[in-house]
Amino acid sequence: MMLGIDTNVLVRFLVRDDPAQFDKARTLIKSEVSHGKRVFINQLVLQETEWVLRSRYKVTKQQMMDTLSALLEAPDVQLEDEPAVEEALYVWRNATADFADCLISARNRRLGCRATASFDVKAVKLPGFVGV
């Protein structure tokens, strides 16, 4: 079974602003990989990480897209519903809406929803959203 990681572990691993916590996160991930396992990142953690990096660390959209793409390609990481994450990244590239909205739309579509209703003016410009 895979080991899921929380937002704080992923952020410490990506940002490396706390050397002790970065070392613990890296050691944990390396340990899993050395045992032939991958770490699991669910979509809530992914959304929360994007928000923390953008709001707290002022990571740009392009930097965040590069980071998320790297996570998708990392052989030691398993993201929840990777096709939805890939679709969200593709849509987000040219969108003014938040990554979370792009991921919500992609995930809902994959779960059989015909659309996602929202009051969010930016989100309703995305494919798969309808305004309320």
- The domain segmentation of the chain, as residue ranges, is 1-80, 93-132
Average pLDDT in the 115-128 region? Answer: 94
Residue 120 CA to residue 125 CA, distance in Å, equals 9
Per the structure block, which two tokens stand in for 130?
């309808």
For residue 71, the model assigns a pLDDT of: 96
- Residues 89-112 pLDDT 10s: 999 999 999 999 999 999 999 999
| % of the chain with per-residue pLDDT over 90 | 98
**Model confidence pLDDT, tens digit, residues 50-77:** 999 999 999 999 999 999 999 999 999 9
Distances (CA, A) of 127 to 61, 89, 116: 20, 13, 9
Compute the mean pLDDT over every residue in the chain, rounded to the nearest whole number.
96
17-55 pLDDT per residue, tens:
999 999 999 999 999 999 999 999 999 999 999 999 999
